[in-house]
Structure 1
Amino acid sequence: MEEPIRNLLKEGTFDVNGSLWLESGGKRFFGPGPVELLERIAETGSIKQAAKAMGMSYKKAWDLINNLNSMGVRPFVVTSTGGEKGGGSSISEEARQMIAYHRQLRERFRQFLEQESSHLK
């Protein structure tokens, strides 16, 4: 029978930790940063304001958006130009579904991390 992992470690507090994102072709494309950007675009109606609120450059925000839009069957971010309010941006239903999926995935991941950390107590 294997010795409990906790018995292999010095006194102290140990936790299992990690970060979670989706990849395609070995390249990250959907994780906490893109999720926050999409949520802020939904709140503000503006890519520029969303990026500013995150302390992110406008170019970086557009790079993330272009990458996200290239991964979906339909664009995650939809822009409009002109009009009374001068245009703006919104997120698609597909983006909302991806955000919801990522939240659920993060919750399952958090539970996994807690369970694994309990073996170290």
Structure 2
Amino acid sequence: MELELILIDREKVFELYHKAADLGNIYGIYNLEYCYKNGIGIDINKRKEFKLYQKVADLEDETVIEMELELILTKKRADLGNANGMNNLGICYQNGIGTDIDNKKAFELFQKAAKLENV
């Protein structure tokens, strides 16, 4: 068995995470925070690490609120008999998007949507 040595340009890693973070990408922000925490491609900087950690937490809160709002709107469409809304609501229940996972409810919604020709 032959081992390969993979060299990682830590400065390039930092640069790319920084670009992703500047674009508002939550994973970029999280990974940039990790770089500051562990000195990857940059000197350890606890102040910047904490600032980015808070930003990730704020974005996660916004994401949860958006998912809950989307669930409410999708449920409303499903309640109005919209097959696409039923299908999307089924996906929410199947994957736990804005709600707990409920495969039984998801299956029922998929069946209703299929009966309305949304296959």
TM-score (normalizing by structure 1): 0.35
Higher Cα radius of gyration: 2
TM-score (normalizing by structure 2): 0.35
Which structure: greater strand fraction?
1
Which structure: greater helix fraction?
2
**Higher relative contact order, structure no. (Cα contacts within 8 Å, ≥ 6 residues apart):** 1
